[in-house]
Structure 1
Amino acid sequence: MLRRLYDWTMALSARKSAEVWLAVIAFVESSVFLVPADVLFLPMSLAKPERAWRYALIATIFSVLGGIAGWWIGYFAFDAIAAPILEFYGKLDTFNQLKSGITFETIVLMLVTSGFAHLPPIKVVTILSGAVHVDIWLFILSAAITRGARFFLLAWLLRRYGEGIRHFIEKRLGQIAMAAAAVLIVAYIAYKYLVH
């Protein structure tokens, strides 16, 4: 099923309505969808490099709006909407573990790592942010910075290096982003250890 979903998303990049689909997928990725917007953003930017910045802006705006929707679900409709979504993806136990030990610092760290590196998945963090009542303006600011950084970095790489960088992005950028997220997590743990 996941492979069919991925193939369907890739096929959307060739359509005239690709920008609309990019906006839709970026929006729903941040609250309910399994496939990241990158799988549509990358081929679109490679096909029309002169529009890469435009695509990055569309993806960023709609990803943030989708994050706000996820926050809203967590804040106002956790039991009715969020719990069944998380259970469907097998993430409800992970969510409950995260929620039980959440602090202000950890939620900010997760907003940064999930926005940039999908660690943990962005949809989990957006719903969690609402469920633990993270300030909406802090949430919007962090989502705009991290999601924007991700999409605009991808746009810059694709414009600068073209098709040659695509394989690297698809195979290695996620690993590099996860390594950067791991460094942030270790720095946070070290900070907490030194302060206490």
Structure 2
Amino acid sequence: MKLFKPIYEKALVWAGHRLAERYLAAVSFVEAFILPTMPEIMLAPMTLAQPRKWARYATISLAFSTLGSIIGYAMGHYGYQLARPLLDDLGWLPSIDAYIAELRGLGMWEVFWLLVGGGFLPIPMKFIAWASGVVGVPLPAFLAAMVIGRGKRVYLLCGLIRLGGERAEKALHTWIEWIGWAVIALIVLAVLYFKFLH
């Protein structure tokens, strides 16, 4: 079943549209709290089409991802409070609360660097935002980590496309399905690890 390649090909169409920057802003914003795909699928073709605007595109994506992550943070915080009775009925609440308490016991700088690393990895931003809201990471530390972590990612991608040109975009187009499913597999493995092995 192909999921990511059709989304990527639709994004290629959007990337050539006269309102491409607005689409990029919207995708970056919504991806940060709910959309199942990453804004990189638009960043790559847009940068290839207009290489001189690579920094502008990366900045638009970063700014709107950061704004969207605030909604994701709130969803994690309030959603967890609403889900607590269900988690308690399932018997999961004590272990989840223990893990959250462990994370809350970390120092602010430890949490900051953990989030910076997470923002750079191919983990959907929504999961980091939700988790930060659940744990109650201080908002200034959360936003700073998102800007640095996601910023490194989008500027690096746009810079590589700018330097690598069409060959870099073709590689992304060829492997996007594998990359997308690999990310989902990593998320499932992480959930299984924390549920059964940690």
Residue in 2 that maps onto 1:148: 151
| 1:118 counterpart = 2:118 | no
Q: How does 1:4-19 map onto structure 2 within 5 Å?
A: 4-19=6-21
Q: By how many angstroms is 1:76 displaced?
A: 3.3
Task: Decide which moves more: 71-80 or 52-61.
Answer: 71-80
SS at match of 2:131: helix
Stretches of structure 1 that go unaligned for 5 or more consecutive residues are 84-95, 179-196
> Could you say which residue in structure 2 is the equivalent of 1:65?
67
Residues 168 and 6 (structure 1), Cα distance of their counterparts in 2 relative to 1, 3 Å cut:
closer
**Given residue 3 of structure 2, which amino acid in structure 1 is its aligned partner?**
L
The residue identity in structure 2 corresponding to 1:138 is A
Which residue is equivalent to 1:127? 130
**CA, structure 1 residues 9+161, in 2 after alignment: closer, same or farther (shift >3 Å)?**
closer
Query: Corresponding residue for 2:192?
Result: none
From the superposition, tell whether residues 72 and 169 of structure 1 become closer, same or farther in structure 2 (CA, over 3 Å).
same
* Counterpart code for 1:118: P
Alignment of 1:24-173 (within 5 A): 24-78=26-80, 100-102=98-100, 103=103, 104=106, 107-108=111-112, 110-119=114-123, 121-169=124-172, 171=175
Decide whether aligned partners of structure 1 residues 99 and 154 sit closer, same or farther in structure 2, where only a CA change above 3 A counts: farther
Distance 1:73 1:155 in 2: 30
The Cα offsets for residues 134-166 of structure 1, whole Å up to 9 and x where unpaired, read as 100000000000111111111211222211222
Q: Structure 1 residues 99 and 60 mapped into 2: Cα distance closer, same or farther (>3 Å)?
A: farther
- Where in structure 2 are there 5+ consecutive unaligned residues? 84-93, 184-198
Q: Answer with 1 or 2: which has the greater Rg.
A: 2
Secondary structure (helix, strand or coil) at the match of 2:33 reads coil
Are the aligned partners of 1:99 and 1:128 in contact in 2 as well (CA < 8 Å)?
Answer: no
**Relative contact order, higher structure (CA 8 A, sep 6+):** 2
SS of residue paired to 2:132: helix
Equivalents in 2 of 1:60, 1:169: separation in Å?
A: 20
Q: Please, what is the CA RMSD of the aligned residues?
A: 2.9
Once the two structures are TM-superposed, the CA of residue 68 in structure 1 deviates from its matched residue by 1.2
Aligned counterparts of 2:70 and 2:28: Cα–Cα separation in 1: 12
* Alignment partner, residue 196 of structure 2: none
1:99 and 1:108, CA in 2 relative to 1: closer, same or farther beyond 3 A?
A: farther
Q: Structure 2 length normalisation: TM-score?
A: 0.69
Q: Indicate the SS of the match to 1:34.
A: coil
Counterpart Cα distance in 2 of 1:166 and 1:8: 15
How many residue pairs get matched?
160
